[in-house]
Amino acid sequence: MRTAIVERKTRETEIVVSLDLDGAGECDIDTGIGFLDHMLESFGRHSMIDLKVRAQGDLHVDYHHTTEDTGIVIGQAVKKALGDFAGITRFGAALIPMDETLTRVAIDVSNRPYLIWRVDVPKPKLGEMDTELFKEWFQAFAQHAGVCLHVENLYGENSHHIVESCFKGVARALRQAISPDERLEGGVASTKGTLGGSVE
């Protein structure tokens, strides 16, 4: 069973995440930030990861800590559920259209975290949420999930569409990358026989 529960408590946030990588995309999300909830529901649905998130944060300050820490804990839960990364396809990619918007995502689930973020969001806010925080979420997720993640918005005008296409793209690419590859017979998709550290 590729499942995990991770809890994180600081002076700024208290977060609990439970997930099942082999689920049906069922989500139960409550971060206190409406737009972030919407994006995480989209992430769970399109990755087919069952995802439950409970977050309490210092929203009276701003949304930064809750957004970033949610990315940290979801990333940690994904990594924990993957174990030694054995038997997975490892690479995934997605090209996501959403009306006038097109976003491209590529991922390497390699235990070597990195983020390339080539996304410009026209509006400074979506609802009450600062759009600059989405990069912080993906940075935190990539770092703590141990994934190399490239996200590029090729074109688009609507800020909601741009951000949502990024979450859907990462979800679809991740779904592909963490899918078992039966031909590996439980081995690791690496010439070194292990993932993490230097380039494989």
CB-based contacts of 17, cutoff 8 Å, min separation 6: 4, 5, 6, 7, 51, 52, 53, 54, 70, 73, 74, 76, 77
The answer to whether position 197 is within a domain reads no
Q: What is the pTM of this model?
A: 0.93
What's at 117, amino acid-wise?
A: W
The answer to whether position 19 is within a domain reads yes
The answer to whether position 150 is within a domain reads yes
Half-sphere exposure of 90 (CA within 13 A, CB side): 21
CA-to-CA distance for 98 and 28, rounded, in angstroms?
24
The answer to whether position 45 is within a domain reads yes
What is the predicted pLDDT for the residue at 187?
72
pLDDT at 114 over 70: yes
Question: How many structural domains does the chain have?
Answer: 1
Domain interval for residue 180: 3-184
- Tokens 């949610």 locate to 70
**Length of the chain in residues, anyone?**
200
Question: What token pair was written down for 130?
Answer: 């600062």
| H/E segment holding residue 126 | strand 125-126
What is the predicted pLDDT for the residue at 191?
58
Whichever domain contains 63, its CATH number is 3.30.230.40
The answer to whether position 196 is within a domain reads no
The answer to whether position 170 is within a domain reads yes
Q: What percent of the chain has pLDDT over 90?
A: 86
pLDDT, tens only, 127-163? 889 999 999 999 999 999 999 999 999 999 999 999 9
The answer to whether position 33 is within a domain reads yes
What's at 189, amino acid-wise?
A: A
The angle subtended at Cα 61 by Cα 71 and Cα 76, nearest 5°, is: 15
What is the predicted pLDDT for the residue at 92?
98
* Lowest mean pLDDT segment, chosen from 99-103, 114-118, 150-154, 196-200: 196-200
The answer to whether position 199 is within a domain reads no
